[in-house]
Amino acid sequence: AEEAATSEPARRALGRYTLGEELGRGGSGLVVVAADAEIGRAVALKTLRDGAAADRRDVRRFLDEARLTGQLEHPGIIPVHDLGALADGQPFYTMRVVKRRSLREVLRPGEPRRDMTLARACGVLIDVCNAIGYAHARGVIHRDLKPDNVLLGEYGEVYVADWGIAKTVGEAEGGALPA
Protein backbone atom coordinates (compact mmCIF):
# COMPACT_ATOMS: atom_id res chain seq x y z
CA ALA A 1 0.00 0.00 0.00
CA GLU A 2 2.84 2.43 0.84
CA GLU A 3 4.44 1.71 -2.55
CA ALA A 4 1.19 2.50 -4.37
CA ALA A 5 0.59 5.64 -2.31
CA THR A 6 4.07 7.07 -2.86
CA SER A 7 4.24 6.22 -6.56
CA GLU A 8 0.86 7.75 -7.44
CA PRO A 9 2.30 11.24 -8.15
CA ALA A 10 4.53 9.63 -10.78
CA ARG A 11 1.43 8.54 -12.74
CA ARG A 12 -0.12 12.01 -13.00
CA ALA A 13 0.24 14.63 -15.70
CA LEU A 14 0.04 18.30 -14.76
CA GLY A 15 -0.56 20.30 -17.88
CA ARG A 16 2.98 21.34 -18.67
CA TYR A 17 4.59 18.52 -16.60
CA THR A 18 4.45 14.78 -17.14
CA LEU A 19 5.71 13.02 -14.06
CA GLY A 20 8.07 10.07 -14.17
CA GLU A 21 10.25 7.97 -11.92
CA GLU A 22 11.13 8.74 -8.34
CA LEU A 23 14.51 10.42 -7.82
CA GLY A 24 14.46 10.43 -4.03
CA ARG A 25 12.57 11.04 -0.85
CA GLY A 26 13.25 12.67 2.48
CA GLY A 27 11.47 13.18 5.76
CA SER A 28 8.40 14.80 4.22
CA GLY A 29 9.20 15.23 0.53
CA LEU A 30 9.09 13.12 -2.60
CA VAL A 31 11.06 14.10 -5.71
CA VAL A 32 10.25 12.73 -9.16
CA VAL A 33 11.63 13.52 -12.58
CA ALA A 34 9.16 15.44 -14.75
CA ALA A 35 9.15 16.33 -18.43
CA ASP A 36 8.53 20.07 -18.88
CA ALA A 37 6.61 20.29 -22.17
CA GLU A 38 6.88 24.09 -22.46
CA ILE A 39 10.67 24.27 -22.30
CA GLY A 40 11.48 20.73 -23.41
CA ARG A 41 13.65 19.68 -20.50
CA ALA A 42 13.61 17.31 -17.58
CA VAL A 43 13.13 18.87 -14.14
CA ALA A 44 12.97 17.51 -10.63
CA LEU A 45 9.48 18.00 -9.19
CA LYS A 46 9.16 17.93 -5.40
CA THR A 47 5.88 17.30 -3.59
CA LEU A 48 4.89 16.35 -0.07
CA ARG A 49 4.98 12.60 0.62
CA ASP A 50 1.65 12.81 2.47
CA GLY A 51 0.04 14.40 -0.58
CA ALA A 52 -3.24 16.17 -0.05
CA ALA A 53 -3.41 14.68 3.46
CA ALA A 54 -0.43 16.81 4.63
CA ASP A 55 -1.28 19.12 7.51
CA ARG A 56 -1.17 22.91 7.15
CA ARG A 57 2.10 23.19 9.06
CA ASP A 58 3.84 20.79 6.63
CA VAL A 59 2.40 22.66 3.64
CA ARG A 60 3.57 26.00 5.05
CA ARG A 61 7.07 24.62 5.68
CA PHE A 62 7.16 23.16 2.17
CA LEU A 63 6.17 26.49 0.59
CA ASP A 64 8.70 28.32 2.77
CA GLU A 65 11.42 25.92 1.55
CA ALA A 66 10.47 26.47 -2.10
CA ARG A 67 10.40 30.26 -1.78
CA LEU A 68 13.57 30.52 0.29
CA THR A 69 15.51 28.19 -2.02
CA GLY A 70 14.17 30.04 -5.07
CA GLN A 71 15.40 33.35 -3.65
CA LEU A 72 18.94 32.02 -3.13
CA GLU A 73 20.30 32.57 -6.62
CA HIS A 74 23.83 31.19 -6.45
CA PRO A 75 25.66 28.70 -8.70
CA GLY A 76 26.16 26.41 -5.68
CA ILE A 77 22.44 26.18 -4.86
CA ILE A 78 20.04 24.16 -7.03
CA PRO A 79 17.75 26.67 -8.80
CA VAL A 80 13.98 26.53 -8.36
CA HIS A 81 12.10 26.95 -11.66
CA ASP A 82 8.40 26.83 -10.78
CA LEU A 83 5.96 26.66 -7.86
CA GLY A 84 2.39 25.42 -8.20
CA ALA A 85 -0.28 22.98 -7.06
CA LEU A 86 -1.38 19.55 -8.22
CA ALA A 87 -5.02 18.95 -9.16
CA ASP A 88 -5.75 17.93 -5.54
CA GLY A 89 -4.29 21.22 -4.22
CA GLN A 90 -1.02 19.69 -3.03
CA PRO A 91 1.89 22.10 -3.61
CA PHE A 92 4.89 21.26 -5.76
CA TYR A 93 7.96 23.01 -6.99
CA THR A 94 10.38 22.21 -9.77
CA MET A 95 14.13 22.56 -9.88
CA ARG A 96 17.13 21.52 -11.92
CA VAL A 97 17.76 17.79 -12.09
CA VAL A 98 21.21 17.16 -10.67
CA LYS A 99 22.76 13.93 -11.96
CA ARG A 100 25.02 13.47 -9.04
CA ARG A 101 26.58 11.71 -6.17
CA SER A 102 26.51 13.06 -2.67
CA LEU A 103 29.74 13.93 -0.92
CA ARG A 104 28.89 11.14 1.54
CA GLU A 105 28.93 8.59 -1.31
CA VAL A 106 32.29 9.83 -2.54
CA LEU A 107 33.84 9.78 0.94
CA ARG A 108 32.38 6.40 1.98
CA PRO A 109 35.12 4.21 3.48
CA GLY A 110 36.36 1.61 1.04
CA GLU A 111 35.18 3.51 -2.04
CA PRO A 112 37.82 4.24 -4.69
CA ARG A 113 38.58 7.96 -4.65
CA ARG A 114 40.28 8.35 -8.02
CA ASP A 115 38.20 11.44 -8.82
CA MET A 116 38.47 12.93 -5.30
CA THR A 117 42.03 14.12 -5.09
CA LEU A 118 43.09 16.40 -2.27
CA ALA A 119 42.94 19.35 -4.68
CA ARG A 120 39.38 18.40 -5.73
CA ALA A 121 38.30 17.95 -2.10
CA CYS A 122 39.63 21.44 -1.29
CA GLY A 123 37.76 22.82 -4.31
CA VAL A 124 34.52 21.18 -3.13
CA LEU A 125 35.00 22.68 0.34
CA ILE A 126 35.59 26.14 -1.14
CA ASP A 127 32.45 25.83 -3.31
CA VAL A 128 30.36 24.77 -0.30
CA CYS A 129 31.77 27.67 1.75
CA ASN A 130 30.95 30.10 -1.08
CA ALA A 131 27.33 28.89 -1.29
CA ILE A 132 26.88 28.97 2.49
CA GLY A 133 28.63 32.37 2.68
CA TYR A 134 26.16 33.71 0.10
CA ALA A 135 23.22 32.35 2.09
CA HIS A 136 24.60 33.83 5.32
CA ALA A 137 25.05 37.21 3.63
CA ARG A 138 21.32 36.99 2.78
CA GLY A 139 20.51 36.11 6.41
CA VAL A 140 19.79 32.42 5.75
CA ILE A 141 21.12 29.60 7.95
CA HIS A 142 20.99 26.12 6.34
CA ARG A 143 20.81 24.12 9.63
CA ASP A 144 21.34 20.71 7.97
CA LEU A 145 24.74 20.95 6.30
CA LYS A 146 26.21 17.45 5.99
CA PRO A 147 27.86 15.33 3.29
CA ASP A 148 24.46 13.93 2.19
CA ASN A 149 23.37 17.49 1.30
CA VAL A 150 26.43 18.34 -0.78
CA LEU A 151 25.85 17.11 -4.34
CA LEU A 152 28.60 16.69 -6.90
CA GLY A 153 27.53 17.03 -10.53
CA GLU A 154 28.96 15.21 -13.52
CA TYR A 155 30.96 18.22 -14.73
CA GLY A 156 32.48 19.52 -11.50
CA GLU A 157 29.40 21.31 -10.18
CA VAL A 158 29.00 21.45 -6.40
CA TYR A 159 25.55 22.12 -4.91
CA VAL A 160 24.37 22.61 -1.36
CA ALA A 161 20.93 20.96 -1.30
CA ASP A 162 17.97 20.48 1.05
CA TRP A 163 17.09 23.87 2.48
CA GLY A 164 13.96 22.40 4.12
CA ILE A 165 14.83 23.40 7.70
CA ALA A 166 16.73 26.59 6.86
CA LYS A 167 15.83 29.73 8.77
CA THR A 168 16.10 33.38 7.89
CA VAL A 169 17.67 35.38 10.71
CA GLY A 170 15.31 38.02 12.07
CA GLU A 171 12.53 37.11 9.66
CA ALA A 172 9.23 35.34 10.27
CA GLU A 173 8.67 32.11 8.34
CA GLY A 174 7.63 32.69 4.75
CA GLY A 175 9.16 36.18 4.55
CA ALA A 176 11.15 37.43 1.62
CA LEU A 177 14.88 37.71 1.88
CA PRO A 178 16.45 41.17 2.15
CA ALA A 179 17.61 42.64 -1.18
Residues known to be catalytic:
144
Residue type at 128 in one-letter notation: V
Q: How many CB atoms lie within 10 A of CB 167?
A: 15
Residue of 98, 96, 99, 92 lying closest to 12 (CA atoms): 92
Which stretches does DSSP call E strand in the chain? 13-14, 17-25, 29-36, 41-48, 80-85, 91-96, 100-102, 140-141, 150-153, 158-160, 167-168
Is 121 exposed, middle or buried, given 0-12, 13-18 or 19+ CB atoms closer than 10 A? middle
